[in-house]
Structure 1
């Protein structure tokens, strides 16, 4: 896949960002981009069918996607770089690290999974079904999954409806292919092969992925460090500054 819409901004060591399924760089990393670009040269491509990137012609292939994103960073002028993956983007980040160890200097994996469990599959299957229905129902469902119960409880009905309208208006055209990739992902063999310094960040209020999935990833990556934040899956929405600090402090330390 070529022609991915990419923003390159900032100064310092190169940092490749990989967003999640049904998201985009702006949706998943937007609130922390300003902070990251103060410390890193951020390379931020939208995955196929997200942001300004065209949809893939067929099913997404995890290895090809990892190769393509590494190629984006190299063509941006960086022989080596850190990679920060979010949600499904963690699978791409891990695959890039294993396939291109000479390029990837270190990893930050936020709300990752080795493979989804049965409880998460039920939620993702419903998400996929709702893609074919009214946008309002899909948007409310996504909002209920992405935010923690505590965050949702603080929203007024008008605020919740406003968020849902925003989600409904920005559903990527590639969402179905992204979801299919989630359902096919299994990093059981790849994670033990990661040789780079790795930080895994979990979200204790995650309602999309079981929080245990992140800890499992941390256990499988040799020498990985683990931290968590008291928020839902949408870390950038609920805990932007603490998330930015974790990423920045860790990568500057390695």
Structure 2
């Protein structure tokens, strides 16, 4: 039986392509275009791709209500069943959706995620919240750059480009980031992991300073039958390793199609 939270947040949804449905679940302080902009056209060649941005205000969020809202948006687009491709915070949302809506969710691809934030992740997220609460967007941008990208990536940036990225990040903080950061701090889906009963690919990121790959390995170890692979680079994989990430996601779905055709 489908679980639905009584107070689901209002999401903004975009749809591309046609075919078997894939739902996208973005990370905290991200968005569908920011996290999946390069992947969407690749998936949409043979899938219906449904991407919902989380609320653009700081109304408090719960994992249950966000998971339910993503599912409701997909069903409203006539996707009765679907897989979920998720990044960072979105991986916890996807796991909760798979447990609360097992009749809907048919597969998971989880990248750069966690079952619950480790100490370093939680400290980083607390710094995000303090900077946002103080209106200190410049410090927030510095925290994001330090933790969101690998050391090699940041150290290789020319000084002018580094300054430009900091300025752009500070000027374009998505609405709702503070609420999403608060949700990350208190998320814990460890008890959900053994209840996930769909094909799952977990992707860790070897140079991730925001969400150490040990967190992704914990997800994979806890989900029965989950595959695990690890890519180089930092947390913002769609910037540092887009081609390798896209290839891993597309390969998962190609193998699922082949298995279904047997």
Same fold (TM over 0.5): yes
In the alignment, does 2:12 pair up with 1:5? yes
- Return the alpha-carbon distance in structure 2 between the equivalents of residues 4 and 103 of structure 1: 19
1:207 maps onto 2:209 in alignment:
yes
1:188 to partner: Cα distance: 1.2
The CA distance in 2 between the partners of 1:167 and 1:28, in whole Å, is: 14
Matches within 5 A, 1:169-184: 169-184=171-186
Equivalences, count: 248
Query: Which residues of structure 1 form unaligned runs of 5+?
Result: 50-54
Gaps of 5+ in 2: 1-7, 257-262
Asked if structure 2 preserves the Cα contact closer than 8 Å seen for 1:111 and 1:202, the reply is: yes
Q: What is the CA-CA distance between 1:2 and the residue it aligns to?
A: 5.1
Aligned counterparts of 1:135 and 1:120: Cα–Cα separation in 2: 19
What TM-score results when the alignment is normalised by the length of structure 2? Answer: 0.91
Partner of 2:41: 34
Of the three residues 26, 38, 43, the one matched with 1:19 is: 26
Please report the TM-score for the alignment, with normalisation by the length of structure 1: 0.94
Q: Within 2, Cα distance between the matches of 1:228 and 1:10?
A: 29
- My pick for the range that moved more, 117-126 or 82-91, is 117-126
SS of the aligned residue for 2:161 comes to helix
Displacement of 1:201 in angstroms is: 0.3
Does the aligned pair in 1 maintain the 2:209–2:235 contact within 8 Å?
yes
* 1:241 equivalent in structure 2: 243
In terms of mean alpha carbon deviation, does 29-38 or 98-107 score higher?
A: 29-38
Is 1:46 paired with 2:34? Answer: no
Aligned equivalents of 2:188, 2:9: Cα separation in 1: 25
Distance in 1, Cα, partners of 2:18 & 2:156: 37
- 40-49 or 134-143, which deviates more: 134-143
Cα shift at 1:96: 0.6
SS of residue in 2 equivalent to 1:200: strand
**Does the 8 A contact of 1:108 with 1:198 survive in 2?**
yes
What aligned pairs does 1:1-254 form with structure 2 within 5 A after superposition? Answer: 1=8, 3-49=10-56, 55=57, 58-131=59-132, 132-254=134-256
Per-residue deviation at 1:149? Answer: 0.9
Cα–Cα, structure 1 residues 162 and 34, in superposed 2: closer, same or farther, change >3 Å?
farther
Q: Matched residues in 2 for 1:246 and 1:209: separation?
A: 19
- 196-205 or 159-168, which moves further after superposition? 159-168
**Secondary structure, counterpart of 1:39 in structure 2:** coil
1:32 offset after TM fit, Å?
A: 2.0
2:10–2:69 CA contact under 8 A, matched in 1 = no
Does structure 1 conserve the Cα–Cα contact (< 8 Å) formed by 2:92 and 2:189?
A: yes
2:23–2:74 Cα contact (<8 Å) kept: yes
Distance (Å, rounded) in 1 between the aligned partners of 2:10 and 2:193: 29
- Secondary structure of 1:64's partner? helix
